[in-house]
Chains A and B, each alone.
Chain A
């Protein structure tokens, strides 16, 4: 057995808890999780059944953490987990799972399959079976500070453009600001208008905010690939900056897993609670709306639907804020048939969008979302995750569907009550 395989199996062994053992013991192989997974529904290949993606971890548990399994293993009645097997499972654990959590929501016996996939990825990554695309993104995140290789200079250039476009200052490293706002590389590269949108909204709402030159990137490849120490290193950058600047809150941008990593898992990664609050940008905007500090003076009147980013809504619990905000700014909101916590994933979450070899599968999996969008009749889709947005835009281009994507924050900024309209 290679050292790396043993290291991977040890990660499996480390992470085995009552939850995982209980879930494995409870599974009745009813197959219902398959129907909850867009990689199965769009391909109808049974191997994409979520619970099947955990087979090596389940066998390790049975062989090493149950008496009957231990005896069977000692008698040679079951095979140990091999490197070849993990290599085979790499596609199942990474390419065909976006950690969207839908299977965990429908499992009749209550198994949190996504929770276990995370543990599965921990061991897979440690054993060296993470996909090259995701390894590359992780390397860039650790070595360059961003999975897309975006450097501070790039951000500074975008800041200058947006300051010119809006005529508003975009503060950097301002100590004593109320909120430290994070961005995702996707936003910096693909939708820099988001920066301008934030500047206008915070200006109108009177929010004291800042960016941090040493912690502008919110995404966390360590979480996606499944290496706790790397995830910790990335989270620690934000924690250090936030505590140095003395902010009251850190605002996670329109990005799904960044919110999940920072809001829900960060404290466990660094081993202590934060001294600040973490909010998704939509949570902050909805709070401002509730306080009457966020108003619009025009509305978006074409049919519009909302794509719930899995990690923000189903796994993050930010369900009502996007709807409150959308209702404020749009007059013809058409919900998809399954929405909110029951939404379908775009097909590129959980790091899948960074896996080059998964592109074809990802485009196929988009079929579910495509059907949902088309069923609403809306030609505009708002969302609150830059990754969802880019994944869907690519697929829309690929399939030549006439649908526009828009970030909800930008949409609000576009219809923001201006100084003139306010006084006039």
Chain B
């Protein structure tokens, strides 16, 4: 541990966090307005079902795996790392404390050993996702640099968080600073990459379900 790493930690906890939070809020609000202010037309044909309600159901229903058995790797690893990210972010005590400070809400945490184990599983699942992106012909074909950047942005907080918790590789203070810094970089870039799907996923599913719902199909 060096004085530089302590200064770095102080920076990422102070000005760095505020800058990241600010850019995150700025970017997210801007992007959401940019996307959704384009508006949508209402269909004139008589609907078979209340399509808006159908959209809400689709938000839930799309969380179930579809009938495509060929995508099992994507499904399993995809579910695993998303659940892992959600649980480790929302149910680890220090994170809950952060959220309590930020939004004033708090809830019980999960046992640290459980969160810890899940972090390992999440890292493994992210590894599988990368392998799949590199090896699967379709994913490799579709992939652009942004996909690998987004993968790294997602992995970094989990990895540094894990190393930090176990005091591995680097002194705790340095690793904690890196952990916070990785989260801050993620926050800044999230609205401007495909990672914005953490929000737009819900309107997209709703719109899809609303389209299908007009004809009465539960999508």
Contact = CB atoms under 8 A, between A and B. Distances in A.
A and B touch in the complex (CB under 8 A): yes
B41 A26 contact: no
A30 to B, nearest CB: 6
A170 to B, nearest CB: 29
Contacts of B217: 314-315, 317, 319, 341
Contacts of B138: 31, 34, 40, 46, 49
Given A106-B66, A264-B43, A112 B36 contact: no
Interface stretch (B96-104, B105-113, B163-171, B206-214): B206-214
A46 B216 CA distance: 32
Contacts of A112: 207-208, 211-212
Interface residues of B, number: 58
Given A49-B138, A267-B43, A110 B62 contact: yes
A41 B34 CA distance: 36
Nearest to B147: A29
Contacts of B71: 30-32, 35
Interface string A61-91: 0000111100000000000000000000000
B194 A264 contact: no
A342 B67 contact: yes
B137 A268 contact: no
B3 interface: no
Interface string A20-62: 1111011111111011100011001011010110000000000
Given A49-B141, A107-B208, A264-B215, A22 B34 contact: no
Contacts of B200: 22, 25-26, 109
B204 A109 contact: yes
Contacts of B78: 30, 108
A23 B207 contact: yes
A268 B208 contact: no
Given A31-B136, A111-B208, A273-B46, A17 B41 contact: yes
Contacts of A341: 217-219
A297 to B, nearest CB: 32
A398 interface: no
B212 A28 contact: no
Size category of the A interface is 35 or more
Given A25-B200, A104-B212, A35 B45 contact: no
A265 interface: yes
B95 to A, nearest CB: 24
Contacts of A133: none
Contact of B205 (A29, A66, A109): A109
Nearest to A315: B215
Contacts of B48: 317
Contacts of B62: 107-110
Contact of A264 (B36, B45, B58, B219): B45
A110 B136 contact: no
Contacts of B137: 44, 46
Contacts of B139: 29-31
Nearest to B68: A35
Interface in B59-105: 59, 62, 66-68, 70-71, 74, 78
Contact of A18 (B38, B67, B144, B216): B38
Interface of A: 16-23, 25-32, 34-36, 40-41, 44, 46-47, 49, 51-52, 65-68, 104-112, 115, 263-268, 271-273, 277, 314-317, 319, 338, 341-342
